[in-house]
Structure 1
Amino acid sequence: MIRTGAGFAAALAAGAAAVLALTAGCATTAPAADVGAGSGSGRTLEVAAAENFWGSIAAQLGGSHVVETSIIDSPAADPHDYEPTPADARAVAFARVFIQNGIGYDSAWAPKLVAANPNSGRTVLTVGDLLGLKPGDNPHQWYVKASVYKVIDAITAAYQQADPADSAYFAARRSSFELTALAPYNRLISDIRARYAGTPIGASESIAAGLAGTLGLNLITPQTFLRAVSQGNDPTAADKSLIDRQITQKAIKVYIYNSQNATPDVAAQIAQAKAAGIPVTAITETLTPAGETFQQWQVSQLEELANALARATGR
């Protein structure tokens, strides 16, 4: 639930004031520290992301030719009901490219920051729109490999449009990111799919659904339960009873939970799974710990999940 107190209003007002102070040139670019791009523009792009998982990707794709700011950059911040600060408003005001998730995830506050801080030179990338998704669909698309790659392509295209003189630089960054930085991530996904595809698993919420699909795992937890926990609603007694049976009968091999949203119902399921000898592994909603790259975060979680699957199946 979005909070609409004085803090949010002050943030919007501060951002709007920042925009009025800008000229067309300095609103979107600054002198580039890196001149390694040869005949490039010699400019850096201000880039902002609503969440740090997209921000990490944006920063790496831009290299020394962008300065990136992530608004949600703390594990303690809840992207669903975040209240922006004046600094957030300024980041959006100056951004040449702004990336928001959409799909109902940050939709209560991120579009308001954009609207309150007009900038005709800014490109706004909404992940849900890029993927053809709408509120009510699973917003956690950073756990879906195919979606991640579509966002990568969209960010690269936005950079090239904003700074055509450095188009080759951004293309090279995109290629290197896929072939080098994402290599361990891609390899783990392929290995887990090859070894454990079809393995039944349980989960605490819909954040795990995209991951399960990417890995070919069979997530048998009721979708209504996953959605309820993700949205902060009470799950039904029928769903909880079904999950209890899945755990006690060991119908699932591994239980995955979001450690940033361990509700009493989820805590009870974790305890029950451990008591039944079912491996339990955690994932997080936002990039954790702060400071890691997207791929470091994902690889660490994939490795833990692979170990849990190996313990559960003996493979």
Structure 2
Amino acid sequence: MPFNRRTAFAAALGAALSWPAHAAEPLRVVASFSLLADLVRQVGGERVAVTPLVGPGGDAHVFQPTPAHARQVGQAQLVVSNGLGYEGWMPRLLQSTGYKGPQVIATKGVKAIEGDKGHDHGQHGHGRDDPHAWQSVPNAMVYVKNIEAGLCAADAAGCPAYRANAARYGADLQKLDADIRAAWASVPLAERKVITSHAAYAYYGQAYSVRFLSPQGVSTESEASAKGVAQLVRQIRRDKIKALFVENVSDPRLIEQIARETGVKPAGKLHSDSLTAPGGGAPTYVDMMRANTRALVQALGAAR
């Protein structure tokens, strides 16, 4: 069949018009930290381009935005943050960039735990809500619903895709929740006591009936008092607590000091406020929750 330039042009034009518009220009979404960015990717799929302000391994508690971060926010079409006071720097950042676009507060509708409730630590909490709500899988399902609604509002044409992705991922989260409960079934309630660096696991503890104790409060910025650490050391000895963990965003020296004073060796590392880079053991939210549960259950099983 002879080559026809006009026919070829018409075919190319037809292909271009039928190609979805979002393929060339995905929705630009800025998420406050790595874990939220993963949830946005799960719901947004190929229609979104997500940038976390605090990347894998970073600590949002002590994050200081740079002019480059301000530019990212200024160019965003949607900003997703955790809320509950987690990103104390976010209001200033939004104000400085003049961002007036849509926002998603992922914790909207979550029943918050007070910062000095739901866990034990050697000092008083900040008298505010604990922001680490993602540590409960049922709460992560609320995050997903909020993200789905935010993406639909920012990109109405993509709403059917976002709804389908959110339904698929929601089923993954339901399975994750069931698997975590099944994993804990082998550990008696009285033995579910764990020491961590800072109080990041109250929601996990509430959802899965685990008691977490920590020398620091809900923020890694908070200082552990000598009196608080001494109380914790006494409690570890009295209750014969055998599971001691450092976190991927916390300075390990405090836990190492407690380990020396109690003779309890750290059982490993937990992921609290950050995912890892690919290959690091917790590159997605589901991977993080599975890795943490596996480490906790193994440590308490080995301690028996």
Matched, 1:126 2:109: no
Evaluate the alpha carbon distance shift between residue 117 and residue 137 of structure 1 in structure 2; reply closer, same or farther with a 3 A threshold: same
Task: Pick from 182, 191, 194 the counterpart of residue 191 of structure 1.
Answer: 182
2:301 equivalent in structure 1 = 310
2:207 equivalent in structure 1 = 214
Kept in 2: contact 1:48–1:69 (CA 8 A): yes
1:268 equivalent in structure 2 = 257
Letter paired with 2:229:
K
How far did 1:272 drift? 4.4
TM-score (norm 2): 0.76
Matched, 1:100 2:74: no
Deviation per CA, 1:156-181, whole angstroms, max 9, x where unpaired?
A: 0111122222221111101111224x
Q: Whole-Å Cα distance in 1 between the matches of residues 131 and 33 of structure 2? A: 12
1:22 equivalent in structure 2 = none
* Structure having the higher Rg: 2
How far did 1:86 drift? 2.6
Q: Whole-Å Cα distance in 2 between the matches of residues 71 and 236 of structure 1? A: 34
Deviation per CA, 1:30-69, whole angstroms, max 9, x where unpaired?
A: 94228xxxxxxxx631111010101111111100011100
Letter paired with 1:200:
K
Deviation per CA, 1:172-215, whole angstroms, max 9, x where unpaired?
A: 101111224x3663243121343336223333321122222222
Kept in 2: contact 1:279–1:312 (CA 8 A): no
RMSD over aligned Cα atoms:
2.7
Matched, 1:246 2:235: yes
What's the % identity of the aligned pairs? 20
Which 4+ residue blocks in structure 1 deviate beyond 4 angstroms? 132-135
Kept in 2: contact 1:288–1:297 (CA 8 A): yes
How far did 1:92 drift? 1.3
Evaluate the alpha carbon distance shift between residue 184 and residue 257 of structure 1 in structure 2; reply closer, same or farther with a 3 A threshold: farther
Task: Pick from 280, 284, 295 the counterpart of residue 286 of structure 2.
Answer: 295
Matched, 1:53 2:42: no
For these two proteins, the number of residue pairs brought into alignment is: 266
Structure 2 counterpart SS, 1:287: coil
Deviation per CA, 1:242-283, whole angstroms, max 9, x where unpaired?
A: 22123234532422332421354322123445x34x662321
How far did 1:217 drift? 1.0
Kept in 1: contact 2:132–2:273 (CA 8 A): no
Deviation per CA, 1:206-239, whole angstroms, max 9, x where unpaired?
A: 11222222221123x37xx4417734223241x3
TM-score (norm 1): 0.74
Evaluate the alpha carbon distance shift between residue 74 and residue 279 of structure 1 in structure 2; reply closer, same or farther with a 3 A threshold: closer
Letter paired with 1:214:
A
